[in-house]
Structure 1
Amino acid sequence: MPERNKHFGLYGARGIKGHEAVARQLDALAAYIATPITVRRGLLARLHYLTRTDHARAAAREAGLAVTERTLKAWLEGKRSPLRQNLQRIEQAYRTVRRENIARYLLARLNREGRGTRVEIHPLNQSHVTRPRQRVVEFRTLNIRHWDRIVQAWVSGDDRGLDDAWVDQIVDLGSQWGKYEYVTNVGFAA
């Protein structure tokens, strides 16, 4: 696409890709367990989430948590502690399963029966850019009515797909949508 930035930050601008800000906001809406996995309470909460039903166990196996029932039982009873690699697998499996479980709910809330959700786009930070090189960018709002592709890409962890889906939405800002490819924050609520 012609508006895509090739050398972002060359003159000192700061920000993140818009789709990364959207992913952060969706992660915040997913309401993950706040207690770290390194604390026993956090580990138990994640293990209970991943093992409470047969469906959850199957989803955890698909997400990469492949341990025996005996090992799982020892972790839950506190007889053994998972290794660092297994803690990472548990965390990754938990986040994957949580995203899949909450996706349908989030999609319904964000689409709001075709009314959509208002998104606030905070422009990139140009405080370190010299005056002649600064662009005029201001706070913008946009109503996104179709979140399907964005949420699906977020659930599957497809960074490229999320970027494409986000860009397809921000082109509605008009001919200068490229100014909002990089942002400081994207805010919306569900």
Structure 2
Amino acid sequence: MPERNIEFGTYGARGIKGHEAVARQLDALAGFVATPITARRGLLARLHYLTRTDHARQAAREAGLTVTDRTLRAWLDGKRSPSRKNLARIQAAYRMVRRQNVARYLLARLNREGRGTRVEFHPLNQSQVGRPRQRVVSYRTLNVRHWDRIVEAWANDDEEAMDDAWVSDAVVDLGSEWGQYEYVTNIGFAA
């Protein structure tokens, strides 16, 4: 695509890809368990979420948590503790299942029956870039009406699809300067 940055940060600009900022915002809206998984309370909250129903158990297995029911019961009862590798699997499965469960709700909130959601683009940080190389980039807002592909890519944790969906469904609507907003300091929206 034209205007894609190949060597971002060469002259000292700082920021993150726009789709990464959107994923962070969607994660905040998803409402994950705040207690760390290393704490007993955080582990139990995640395990209860993953084992409450047969549907949740199946989704957890598909997400990579493949331990026996006996092991799960031992973890829930506090008789045994998961290894670091299993803690990472529990965390990954929890995030994946939570994203899939919340995606439909978030999609309805963001699309708002065709009205869309107002998005704020906070430009990249150019404080470390020499004066002659700085771009004129300002704060912009845009109403994004089509969130389907963006939320689907986020729910599936597919970074490449998320980047493509974010650029083609949202950023190009900024006009001819859309390439300046590929990297940002923050993307904000309230749904």
Normalized against structure 1, the TM-score is what? 0.99
Partner of 2:180: 179
Q: Establish whether residue 57 from structure 1 lines up as the match of residue 62 from structure 2.
A: no
Q: Establish whether residue 72 from structure 1 lines up as the match of residue 99 from structure 2.
A: no
**RMSD of aligned alpha carbons:** 0.4
User: In structure 1, the residue corresponding to 2:82 is in which secondary structure?
Assistant: coil
User: In structure 2, the residue corresponding to 1:186 is in which secondary structure?
Assistant: strand
Instruction: Return the alpha-carbon distance in structure 2 between the equivalents of residues 87 and 8 of structure 1.
Output: 35
1:28-177 matches, within 5 Å, as 28-168=28-168, 169-177=170-178
**Structure 1 spans left out of the alignment, 5+ residues:** none
Instruction: Return the alpha-carbon distance in structure 1 between the equivalents of residues 85 and 21 of structure 2.
Output: 28
Instruction: Return the alpha-carbon distance in structure 2 between the equivalents of residues 94 and 105 of structure 1.
Output: 17
Instruction: Return the alpha-carbon distance in structure 2 between the equivalents of residues 140 and 75 of structure 1.
Output: 49
Offset of residue 2 of structure 1: 1.1
User: In structure 1, the residue corresponding to 2:34 is in which secondary structure?
Assistant: coil
Partner of 1:11: 11
Q: Provide the identity percentage.
A: 79
Counterpart residue identity of residue 3, structure 1: E
Offset of residue 189 of structure 1: 1.3
Normalized against structure 2, the TM-score is what? 0.99
**Structure 2 spans left out of the alignment, 5+ residues:** none
